[in-house]
Amino acid sequence: MLGQYFPGTSLIHLLDPRTKIISTILFISSIFLAETYQAYSILTIFIGIIIAVAGIPLSMILRSLKPLWMIIVLTLLIHIFSTPGTILYKMGPLAATQEGIRQGLFMTIRLIFLIIVSSLLTFTTSPIALTDGIERLLKPFKKIGLPAHELAMMMTIALRFIPTLLEETDRIMKAQMARGADFTSGNLLRRARNMIPLLVPLFISAFRRADELATAMEARCYRGGDQRTRMKQLQITSRDWLAYGILCIVIGALIVVKINVK
Amino acid sequence: MSINLQNVTYVYMSKTPFEKVAIKNINIEIKQGEFVGIIGHTGSGKSTLVQHLNGLLKPTSGTVTIGEQNIHSKGQAARQAKSRVGMVFQYPEHQLFEETVYEDIAFGPRNLGIPEDEIDSRVKKALNFVGLDFEKYAQRTPFQLSGGQMRRVAIAGVIALEPEYLILDEPSAGLDPRGRDEIFGQIINLYEATGMTVVLVSHNMEDVAKMANRLLVMKDGEISLDGTPKDIFQNYQVELKQAGVDAPPLTLLMNKFKQRGLDVDNTVIATDAAADSIFDAVRRC
């Protein structure tokens, strides 16, 4: 799961969500342009500056990497041992190569940057702003039958209810633990069985909530996205153009490095 | 044997921008046989506090002991100490999950490893305490009962654990006045019949005033008042207001009588006693 929203008033926070979504996609693609130490230095500096400007503590960034550390380590190892080249160290059938280390390091850094950049998006953009942005970006596809508003509404509702459901899970877990339920010990089958006292009430309450929400929305005459106005209109400002400009310079620099350094 | 909290502080979402100190520096002792009412405004830390009493929350700092046993130490003794405390959460009916009322109430005792024949008698007793007929309800699915009945089944599920301490967090929330009176009536019966220590959390003064023999008033995560209901309603009305709770309407009414010069007893808590007192005072005039 990507990071949580980290409220703030930095320049990055204030950017239009569309700008942030598009920039994130562009920047993530441009990470794949990097193949040299120079290119990676540019990326590192740029990401460092963004983190500093956004004012996100480094501990939060590291926390967002935590769930994926296994994959990161695995990527590193696979590359070290499976790339052909000058052999540095032999361990049975496995051989670590110089090229492998370089390749593995680059791949790992790429992966880490991918995670950091996408978590930066969710760290600096509230879920509501994010879905608003997505809705606007998907609007052109309405012509080919994509229900942009409905998709965005579903996302908003899903995001909105994650904390509620977590809270509910926590509460039910505690309530059952107070009755002697055990969620942490035993083998897999036993553990799965032990989840029943948690899952049944959780499903019931999720359905009840869904039902109540649907009624509440209908009672307020919700009928989909047609001719819906919004309280907060998204607006592209000079800040956003500045952001695009800087991003273009960085991507330009990456392309120059790619052509010139081999 | 009593539950002791020493310098207990609890911080939610520690080390994030959402950090919030829920309770700070709580020192209380809950003695066996007490009926403790905890009141306070929404967000004053009542629910957080009671979740420390049976180790569901681990204090950020401070210690919780039941008897001599620190409940956050490892091992069997701590587990056993925790199982002495039964906890009824807000909206406990949301935790029902079994196919029949019987099975749901039996869930807790079964987890404690109690033999089947004793479970049977415990379920019967528990249903009896909450005023539901065993023959009629035991084999029904809990999900087709009314809200009030579901709640009673859930409470029975905790009573069947036969705890020495029973904690109830807002047991009357969302019930109509009659359902509320019934639940409270049953809690009082239980208290009187078993001598169980009861801790009742509520934001409704009137409910607590009638039952508790000790009152804790919480304000901003701290205990601002600790005493008998009579004493607190009588002598600390300003502090009560500051904590965001009012003395029960009856006390306020009796105080008004007294201010206007009618010599009534403004320490009464039950409606009948109040009526008698007013009657006497008027006759004396």
Per-residue pLDDT tens for A214-259?
999 999 988 877 778 888 788 899 999 999 999 999 999 999 998 8
Query: Is residue A92's pLDDT more than 80?
Result: no
Asked whether the beta carbons of residue A178 and residue B158 sit closer than 8 angstroms, the reply is: yes
| Contact predicate B14/B57, CB 8 Å | no
pLDDT at A116: 92
Distance CA B32, CA B195 (A): 8
pLDDT at A2: 46
| Contact predicate B138/B172, CB 8 Å | no
Give the minimum alpha-carbon distance from A104 to chain B in angstroms, rounded to a whole number. Answer: 33
User: What's the DSSP call for residue B244?
Assistant: T
Residues B276 and B208 in one domain: no
**Chain B residue whose CA is closest to A6:** B17
User: What's the DSSP call for residue A4?
Assistant: P
Distance CA A126, CA A110 (A): 26
Give the minimum alpha-carbon distance from A20 to chain B in angstroms, rounded to a whole number. Answer: 22
Q: What ipTM was reported for this prediction? A: 0.83
Question: What are the tokens at B97?
Answer: 């999950």
Choose among B90, B94, B108: nearest Cβ to A180.
B108
| Contact predicate B90/B50, CB 8 Å | no
Selected residue with higher pLDDT from A13 and A67: A13
Low-confidence residues of chain B: pLDDT under 70: none
Of B226, B157, B166, the C-alpha closest to B196 is: B166
pLDDT at A229: 81
* Sheet (strand B69-70) strand order: B20-31, B2-12, B61-66, B69-70
What percentage of residues in chain A have a pLDDT greater than 70?
98
Residues B167 and B213 in one domain: yes
Q: What is the mean pLDDT of chain A?
A: 88
CATH classification of the domain holding B207: 3.40.50.300
Chain A CB within 8 Å of residue B56 CB: yes
Asked whether the beta carbons of residue A174 and residue B56 sit closer than 8 angstroms, the reply is: yes
Chain B CB within 8 Å of residue A175 CB: yes
Query: Is residue A3's pLDDT more than 60?
Result: no
Asked whether the beta carbons of residue B86 and residue A171 sit closer than 8 angstroms, the reply is: no
Choose among B83, B94, B110: nearest Cβ to A201.
B94
Residues B170 and B44 in one domain: yes
Number of Cβ within a 10 Å radius of residue A136: 18
Give the minimum alpha-carbon distance from A197 to chain B in angstroms, rounded to a whole number. Answer: 6
pLDDT at A231: 81
| Contact predicate B227/B214, CB 8 Å | yes
pLDDT at B8: 92
CA distances from residue A80 to A31, A73, A100, A105, A222 in whole angstroms, order as listed? 21, 11, 4, 8, 56
| Contact predicate A241/A196, CB 8 Å | no
Residues B265 and B184 in one domain: no
Please report the DSSP string for A8-63 in residue order: --SHHHHS-HHHHHHHHHHHHHHHTT--SHHHHHHHHHHHHHHHHHHT--HHHHHH
Asked whether the beta carbons of residue A205 and residue B94 sit closer than 8 angstroms, the reply is: yes
Distance CA B256, CA B240 (A): 17
How many domains does the structure of chain B reveal?
2
Asked whether the beta carbons of residue A180 and residue B94 sit closer than 8 angstroms, the reply is: no
Query: Is residue A18's pLDDT more than 60?
Result: yes
Residues B128 and B191 in one domain: yes
Chain B CB within 8 Å of residue A45 CB: no
pLDDT band at A112 (very low <50, low <70, confident <90, very high): very high
* Sheet (strand B197-202) strand order: B85-88, B165-169, B197-202, B35-40, B214-219, B222-227
Q: Which of residues 89-148 of B touch A (CB under 8 A)?
A: 89-90, 92, 94-97, 107-108, 110-112, 143
Residue type, B217: V
Residues B168 and B258 in one domain: no
Element (H, E) at B38: strand B35-40
Choose among B85, B94, B97: nearest Cβ to A196.
B97
Give the minimum alpha-carbon distance from B155 to chain A in angstroms, rounded to a whole number. Answer: 11
Chain B CB within 8 Å of residue A174 CB: yes
Chain B CB within 8 Å of residue A182 CB: yes
Of A11, A5, A25, the C-alpha closest to A247 is: A25
Suggest the residue from B18, B20, B83, B97 to mutate for an interface test with chain A (most A CBs closer than 10 A).
B97
Residues B136 and B274 in one domain: no
pLDDT at A262: 63
Asked whether the beta carbons of residue B108 and residue A177 sit closer than 8 angstroms, the reply is: no
Q: In degrees rounded to 5, what are phi and psi of residue A19?
A: -55, -45
Residues B284 and B167 in one domain: no
Of B216, B218, B221, the C-alpha closest to B232 is: B216
B175 three-state secondary structure = coil
Residues B237 and B272 in one domain: no
Distance CA B207, CA B204 (A): 6
Query: Is residue A1's pLDDT more than 60?
Result: no
Residues B163 and B259 in one domain: no
Suggest the residue from A126, A167, A177, A179 to mutate for an interface test with chain B (most B CBs closer than 10 A).
A179
What residues have CB less than 8 Å from A40, skipping those under 6 apart? A34, A106, A109
Give the minimum alpha-carbon distance from A30 to chain B in angstroms, rounded to a whole number. Answer: 32
pLDDT at A143: 86
Chain A to chain B, count of Cβ pairs less than 8 Å apart? Answer: 56
- Output the furthest CA–CA distance in chain A (Å, rounded): 71
Asked whether the beta carbons of residue A200 and residue B97 sit closer than 8 angstroms, the reply is: yes
Q: State the residue range of the domain holding B275.
A: 248-285
Burial class (CB in 10 A: 0-12, 13-18, 19+), A248: exposed
Chain B CB within 8 Å of residue A193 CB: no
Residues B169 and B233 in one domain: yes
Chain A CB within 8 Å of residue B157 CB: yes
Residues B177 and B273 in one domain: no
Distance CA A79, CA A107 (A): 8
Selected residue with higher pLDDT from B267 and A177: A177
